[in-house]
Amino acid sequence: MSSKRPDGAEALIAPLYLLAFLLVATPLMDFVTSIVPLRPGDIEWRFASVGLLSGFLLTPLLGVALAIGAAHLGGHLRFQRVLAIVNLVVAASCIGLLVFFVLDIFQLKVAVQPEAAEAFKSAALKAVIKHVSFFLTLGFLGWRGIRISRWGTPAEARRPQAAVIVGG
């Protein structure tokens, strides 16, 4: 009885999945613990929370990209497609979040003290740019992930076949 152990690049797939999970989960846990207690009815809390979220998005995005790359490397086309669909759903949700964030910006703008107006505008603009960059990149990853998973080839078929030499 022999056990097949992964070799070469395949040996890295499980650790890459674990790293991808950590890159996504750790910042999200940090973010969630930073915004409790939840006060969604408070416009200032919403502005601060969504603004804070914008600073936490890059690391999870890197984790998602790593997971899609590991799925592709491992020939896990179904999982790659699931990740791609989740990316598209999250990107669409972020668009909705951004719309409400922009509405909160317009509502809060009138309540901001004149001496804090420039800092408010700067923080709001940076957060909007980060959110737009995030959902565009996530959507692009999702779209490409679906295309690749649809036309991709499992890892076993991508491996070069040993050449048989006949002759003498």
The string of pLDDT tens digits covering residues 102-154 is: 999 999 999 999 999 999 999 999 999 999 999 999 999 999 999 988 765 55
Distance CA(95)–CA(164), nearest Å, equals 55
Whether the predicted model's global pTM rises above the 0.75 cut:
yes
- The domain segmentation of the chain, as residue ranges, is 10-158
Distance CA(64)–CA(70), nearest Å, equals 10
**Would you tell me the crossing angle of helices 117-151 and 77-109 to the nearest 10 degrees?**
160
Percent of the chain with pLDDT over 70: 88
